[in-house]
Structure 1
Amino acid sequence: MRRFMYIALLTLAACGGSLSDEQRKQLKEGKASQEIKRVTEAQIMEAAFKKGRDVIA
């Protein structure tokens, strides 16, 4: 996915277009949403149990 972002940025730069402030903000938000997040084993188990309870109910 990051490769796609870099290709898109290179394409925009190659076309001579400049990014507006809104586009820059969207790019930063996109990068932030793709960050690696740490998840503990307990969080995984709790999510699995919750999903199981939802399926049974």
Structure 2
Amino acid sequence: MGSGFLQWEELRKEDVLVVGGGPVGLIAAIGLARQGLQVRIIEAEHGVLPTPRAMG
């Protein structure tokens, strides 16, 4: 009987994981997708922020 957990290889369907959905992460994801790669973006925020995080 299994442990109930799936192994990473069973879950992974994308070629690249982009961490951060800011301007750089999105541009990177678009460029990679245009190259034919399967891309997943993960972001900690639930919505769009009004200003870039790099602004201080």
TM-score, normalised via structure 1 length: 0.31
Bigger strand fraction: 2
- Larger relative contact order (Cα-Cα within 8 Å, sequence gap ≥ 6): 2
Q: Considering only CA atoms, is the larger Rg found in Structure 1 or Structure 2?
A: 1
TM-score, normalised via structure 2 length: 0.31
